Structure 1
Amino acid sequence: AVLPRGLYFEKAHQAISSVFRVCEGINLAKIRSRAKNLCSELDLPVLAREIGKSDKLSLNLFFTTKTHKEGAPFRTIVSERNSWQYELGRFLQDKLKLFPVEDPFRIFNSGEVVNFLKQHPGARFRAFSIDIKDLYYSLPHEGLLACIDECIDSFGAVPFQNTTGISSKGFLELLSLYITSTFVEWNGKTYIQKEGVSIGSSIAPFLSDLLLAKFDRALNVKLGELSVVKTFRYVDDYLLILRCDLETFHSKVMQVLQIFRECLYPLVVTHEMPERNSIRFLDLKISFSENHTCWCYEPRSQKPVLPFSSAHSKLVKRGIVQSCFHNALERSCHHVLEASLLAQSERLEREGYPRTLLISVAEAMHRKRKRLG
């Protein structure tokens, strides 16, 4: 659908105003020159040259529609492509990789949650989740710079300079300039992001992981004093598993939330309680009873799989079926395994996948599992 011009600008203005503010009297060419000159002062001629050659003085801004929300509001999307921030971000990213992310909670997929639950059959767990609101938009600049300064100190200032060719002071100056140069241009005006790091930044994931690792280490010490037996974090989502009875669960949650608010300040956290004794985390639905804990592969997203009528090869479509069945098998407990497989079969059939193909893939997977024992 094509939006009327007036409605488009209204939605766009609302989206921009939620994240950016107008920046009056700013000369973007001077900002780029400042970055270039700083690189020259730090004896980084190649980086200075690349920044000077960059086509764009600001970040790229465009919009997508939140179709799942009432009124279909716009979401702002930012990209560093062809900007001088992209060149500086690449340089910083290469150096940030030197720092290990020592985080007791961080995971990369739901498989680690499944492995933990498998190790505790029959355990009477309770759980709830915590979410960091607008993580990238909320990362505190001072906190980030202090965190990276500590990372350099742990690595060693001299080894860092010998490895990177830049002093710790110079690196922090470049990082500070980068995270405060979140300029975009729209409708004849220049805007700057109100807070945090650009969501389109190439180093935002590195910065958030390093800062949250610091917070999580402090959390880990304090949570040990409560009934929390395991904590998982995926980007900005936490899953906390507690061993307590239903009567004390709510009070324990409130205590844990208070600790999170203290340790993660100034980040803002929200939480989600179980509904009908079940909670969702990543692509899992975890259910609790008095006798055991169940888990089932059940992605939150209702996005359909690739339609069978697409022009993709048969091999690709067979791989999609195999992936759906594999996830159901590996990420569902034996109590709900049959229902999980059935749900994936129905999901595939809705997109036109013939039952003969589903049976063929299932039989092949069964033979392989039988052969491997």
Structure 2
Amino acid sequence: MTLPNTNIAGYLNYNYGQSTVQNYDDTKKAHERFQSLLLDLQFLKSCRSKDIIPKFLIFKTANNNLSSSSVYKDCQRRLLNVEINSKYRELNFYKNNYMFFLDELKKTIPENVLQHVSEYIKNRSDAVLFAKEKNLKEKMEAFEIYDDKIYRVDRNIVKNLSSRILTDEEIDCLAHGLDFGLIPKNVDDMDIISNIENFFSRVTDIFENHKKIASELKDNDKFIAADVRVLNTKELSLASSLRSITDSFRSQAHQFEKKQNRITIEQQNYRNILTNLRKDKLITIARPDKGRGIVILNKADYLSKIHTMLNDSSKFQCLTEDPTISRETKLRNLLNRLFNDGHISEAFRNRARSTGSLPGRLYGLPKTHKKDVPLRPVLSAIGTFNYGLAKSLTPILSTIIKKHNTIRDSFSFVKELLALPKSMSKYKMVSFDIASLYTNVPLNETIDIILEHLYDGDITPPVMDRKDMKKLLILATQNSHFLFDGKLYDQIDGVSMGSPLAPLLAEIFLQNFEKKYLSSLETMGIFYWKRFVDDTFVLIDSTSSVKDICNTLSQFHKSIKFTCEEEDRYTNKLPFLDVLVQRKPDEGFHTRIYRKPTFTGHITKWDSFVPKNYKYSALSTMVYRAIKICSSYDLLHRELNSIRSIARRNGYPSSLLNSIIRRQLDLLYTAPKPILPPPLTNDTVVFRVPYFGPLSQIYAKRITSTINKNYPLKQIRVILDVTERIGNSFTLKDPIPENMQSGVVYEATCPDCNMKYIGKTYRHYKTRIHEHLNDQKNDLCLKKIITKPISKKKNKKSILKPIIEQKGPVTRSQT
């Protein structure tokens, strides 16, 4: 039977009755209203993201001066939020109606007829809504926002490689990006208080001052408890001021919390979506290895790919016991011996030793640009037993690094390339890349190179013996264990993944490699050689064979293998780092910005709840790079247009980008400001503030101003913490086992008298429990230990409060 394309209602009435026609009409109206509301929401959200007030929210007041006040503007913004939430409620209502009437149609008409009717309804609504979409676009143009289309998220940045079928709402939510800031739902008072208390102690150096006061009291046969701090008059006055300012901020933050909980239905929808995705244990959500975006994988596939890598017995070994404490103790004993022998300073020992260290945690990032989507292993080594040692050795090893054949960044590369004589442009461009550099650096050979430079070179050797330095280097780069999927592994080959020394060791090895073989490069036809880590830009004789040169370089050392890429034979273009270089023989080189195929165009969204300076930096950084890298005005003009397109797709007002471009160009062509003398002190103190909008910035300014009056030599660095992001809902790292947690607050309760003892320790929880168990021998016995946590803080090192039941009194011991 041929289905009609016009009189659908008549066809349904003739074949299925009047009730079916009524369901058809209801379905059609609900669908059209639903699609119309979607356009309304996109328009209103676009207005909100660009801080534009629609005309229907411009109202008159008795006092005309009020229209320019902040209260009037705030009222308009709140009304806009209320209107958006109202549209969301109406949208959900008509969506449910549409699904209901569609289900009713399914009961009365066949599947093929239903499909035909659905397509007809969709096509008809598209035609009807086209005029509305055009009208909304004209409204935007009337606001002088030169957008090509109404701002909406780009669903293409979400790569779903899992078996789960995502809804449009889930894709739209994830398409905002893992870094998208959500409006905080709750105010964490303890976080605010602990931040200001820690900041106060750092600014006043209260612990150092306390030692002096305690020593003076001890000389006078007076003592104070170890957990009591004595403040002088200046410190008491500062503490009072900081408390008053912080209490005011907390009050404002709670008012912000109440207001947002009333008007942010959209954000609540996001949270519900993220909660449902997080509960699905069959999928893993991660960022891609290259570019910005979101990748959804089957959890089984993710684990299988990592386990396949870990099953390589030549590189990894599965451990049956946790070596964290034993390795931490070994390092501490070595540092104490070196300190007692006078070979290291107290500051070095304190930086290098660890207390309550954790195993590293391995995870993988999907390489979506490669076949079968392999995973790049990433090891989070922060907090491991040798992380502080590696950071402490960095200044010592940095003295070995020379800058002869290396480039610092893209800017220095372009500057040096454009300064070359034009005659150099007759040579062919090639880039060489070292395959898997970090995992192939020969560790023992590199350590020998370091020791030779430190003890046999021209520089003054370290105070410590050569063999002790070698022990420190081995401890810092080997013996690194990590956690994955609940199991512990040891890396038994190569430089430890995630070690802060890995880039430095690779650079030292490569510089030694170049020192040995650079003299033979010219005989191979190489006339220019500049390297950035493992990528090298080379100019060679046009008659030389690139493959022969690559093979020769790969034969110099068994651990280093090179790959190569030649310039395009037709355009003479070659990408290097983020620069696209074009060679024009005997005329010189031209450079412009290069973006890899993995670039998604995704940056911080304009409507992301993050500080405005973060968004400003997202654009100003791109503009600055364009000005510094583009070698001609024509190339710069093209790049600025590309940046405009990226900004529009992410919801940024055109006026903001234009102002940034003007400012950057003004800075380029204005005389540089005189160089200010360096500050009298480099003592910088970090102050972390949870971000609740402008009130957090005002709070930070008030605190900074107060500190500057009392401690003018202190440099304050404010960090506005975005407490809730989309990415916070998903983690790839294993949780640390409870007994290996450090920074623990625990409670001991006497079962006989119900008295409680609350203790804390910066060491491992199981170490402190073991000490309590040893107290049993002295009749300070613990009857039972319960490791149930009382509370945990998200996104930070978890602070557990295990309940410890005890028998008899327990005195506080040193932790």
Where on the TM-score scale, by shorter chain, does this alignment land: which range?
0.7 to 0.9
1:339 aligns with 2:638: yes
Deviations 1:39-82 (A, max 9, x none): 455456974997573333x4332333334444444332212233
Structure 2 match to 1:302: 599
Shift of 1:170: 0.8
Shift of 1:368: 4.6
Structure 2 match to 1:225: 523
Q: Distance in 2 between matches of 1:266 and 1:337?
A: 41
Structure 2 match to 1:321: 619
* 1:285/1:295 contact within 8 Å kept: yes
Pick closer, same or farther for the CA change 1:25–1:48 going to 2, 3 Å.
farther
Say which SS state the counterpart of residue 461 (structure 2) adopts: helix
Match of 1:287 among 582, 601, 604: 582
Match of 2:394 among 79, 86, 93: 93
* 1:104/1:216 contact within 8 Å kept: no
Paired positions, count: 362
One-letter code of the match for 2:599? Q
Structure 2 match to 1:55: 357
Deviations 1:308-361 (A, max 9, x none): 233345554444333322222221122633323322222222222233333333
Deviations 1:228-251 (A, max 9, x none): 232221111111123x33xx14x1
Structure 2 match to 1:355: 654
Bigger shift: 77-86 or 40-49? 40-49
Say which SS state the counterpart of residue 515 (structure 2) adopts: helix
* 2:477/2:501 contact within 8 Å kept: no
Pick closer, same or farther for the CA change 1:294–1:21 going to 2, 3 Å.
same
Structure 2 match to 1:16: 310
Contiguous gaps of at least 5 residues in structure 2:
1-276, 284-297, 673-815
Contiguous gaps of at least 5 residues in structure 1:
none
Deviations 1:248-299 (A, max 9, x none): 14x1x23432442244542222222223532111110112344543211123
Pick closer, same or farther for the CA change 1:38–1:372 going to 2, 3 Å.
closer
Structure 2 match to 1:66: 367
Say which SS state the counterpart of residue 195 (structure 1) adopts: coil
* 2:451/2:466 contact within 8 Å kept: yes
Say which SS state the counterpart of residue 287 (structure 1) adopts: strand
Pick closer, same or farther for the CA change 1:309–1:27 going to 2, 3 Å.
closer
Deviations 1:154-201 (A, max 9, x none): 4568x4233xxx212210122123322022243464422253112210
Say which SS state the counterpart of residue 84 (structure 1) adopts: coil
Pick closer, same or farther for the CA change 1:368–1:71 going to 2, 3 Å.
same
Bigger shift: 179-188 or 323-332? 179-188
One-letter code of the match for 1:13? H
Match of 1:113 among 396, 407, 413: 413
Say which SS state the counterpart of residue 453 (structure 2) adopts: helix
Q: Distance in 1 between matches of 2:350 and 2:322?
A: 19
Say which SS state the counterpart of residue 640 (structure 2) adopts: helix
Bigger shift: 17-26 or 113-122? 17-26
Say which SS state the counterpart of residue 500 (structure 2) adopts: coil
* 2:455/2:462 contact within 8 Å kept: no
Bigger shift: 182-191 or 144-153? 182-191
One-letter code of the match for 1:10? S
Structure 1 match to 2:379: 78
Say which SS state the counterpart of residue 183 (structure 1) adopts: strand
Shift of 1:306: 2.2
Q: Distance in 2 between matches of 1:317 and 1:48?
A: 38
Identity %: 21
Q: Distance in 2 between matches of 1:48 and 1:352?
A: 48
Q: Distance in 1 between matches of 2:435 and 2:625?
A: 29
Shift of 1:128: 1.2
* 2:352/2:390 contact within 8 Å kept: no
Say which SS state the counterpart of residue 53 (structure 1) adopts: coil
Match of 1:272 among 565, 579, 582: 565
* 2:405/2:530 contact within 8 Å kept: yes
Say which SS state the counterpart of residue 296 (structure 1) adopts: strand
Q: TM-score scaled by structure 2? A: 0.40
One-letter code of the match for 1:358? L
Bigger shift: 261-270 or 14-23? 14-23
Deviations 1:71-106 (A, max 9, x none): 444332212233212233234334324x23124221
The structure having more radius of gyration, on CA atoms, is: 2
Deviations 1:120-176 (A, max 9, x none): 34632321111112221111122111111111134568x4233xxx21221012212
Pick closer, same or farther for the CA change 1:75–1:262 going to 2, 3 Å.
closer
Q: TM-score scaled by structure 1? A: 0.83
* 1:96/1:206 contact within 8 Å kept: yes
* 2:551/2:562 contact within 8 Å kept: no
1:181 aligns with 2:462: no
Say which SS state the counterpart of residue 336 (structure 1) adopts: helix
* 1:63/1:77 contact within 8 Å kept: yes
Structure 1 match to 2:442: 140
One-letter code of the match for 2:609? A
Pick closer, same or farther for the CA change 1:190–1:48 going to 2, 3 Å.
farther
Q: Distance in 1 between matches of 2:426 and 2:536?
A: 20
Match of 2:427 among 111, 121, 125: 125
Q: CA RMSD for the aligned pairs?
A: 3.2
Structure 1 match to 2:117: none
Bigger shift: 270-279 or 363-372? 363-372
Q: Distance in 1 between matches of 2:388 and 2:653?
A: 49
Q: How does 1:193-272 map to 2 (within 5 A)?
A: 193-242=491-540, 244-245=541-542, 248-249=543-544, 251=545, 253-272=546-565
Q: Distance in 1 between matches of 2:515 and 2:365?
A: 36
Pick closer, same or farther for the CA change 1:366–1:145 going to 2, 3 Å.
closer
